[in-house]
């Protein structure tokens, strides 16, 4: 398996809202996966387990390729460094929005 990264667009569908009244959010997910389809499955399962509906998963790439493009963003490098010691999937902060 390799490290993959992607941007997940979610909507809060839980009975206990998690986005402080926002209707949706974007969150970066980094996961160990066999390929992009496996990454989509794993990221979707993670968000569903947290009470979110996945609207779309986009900008999926191998971490090694994407890391070269975001070398100045330490939060992503810190998240990626946690794998696999902290598990096989992790996510960054939720960037929420109020309306479409």
User: How far is 76 from 91, CA to CA, in rounded Å?
Assistant: 9
User: How far is 94 from 5, CA to CA, in rounded Å?
Assistant: 15
**Residue 18: its pLDDT value, please?**
82
Q: What is the pLDDT of residues 66-96, one digit of tens each?
A: 776 665 556 666 766 666 655 689 898 899 9
**What CA–CA distances, in Å, run from 1 to 50, 82, 90?**
24, 15, 15
**Residue 45: its pLDDT value, please?**
96
Q: What percent of the chain has pLDDT over 70?
A: 77
Q: What is the pLDDT of residues 29-66, one digit of tens each?
A: 999 999 999 999 999 999 999 999 999 999 999 988 87
**Residue 64: its pLDDT value, please?**
82
User: How far is 1 from 54, CA to CA, in rounded Å?
Assistant: 23
Long-range contacts of 73-79 (CB under 8 A, 24+ apart): 76/5, 76/28, 76/30, 79/28, 79/30
User: How far is 31 from 60, CA to CA, in rounded Å?
Assistant: 11
């Amino acid at each position: 398996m390799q490290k993959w990264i992607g941007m997940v667009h979610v909507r809060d569908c839980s009975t206990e809202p998690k986005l402080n009244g926002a209707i949706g959010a974007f969150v970066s997910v980094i996961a160990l996966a066999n390929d992009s389809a496996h990454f989509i499955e794993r990221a979707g399962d993670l968000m569903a387990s947290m009470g979110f509906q996945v609207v779309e998963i986009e900008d999926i790439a191998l971490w090694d390729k994407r890391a070269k493009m975001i070398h100045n963003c330490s939060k992503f490098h810190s998240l990626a460094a946690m794998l696999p010691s902290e598990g096989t999937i992790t996510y960054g902060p939720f960037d929420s929005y109020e309306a479409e």
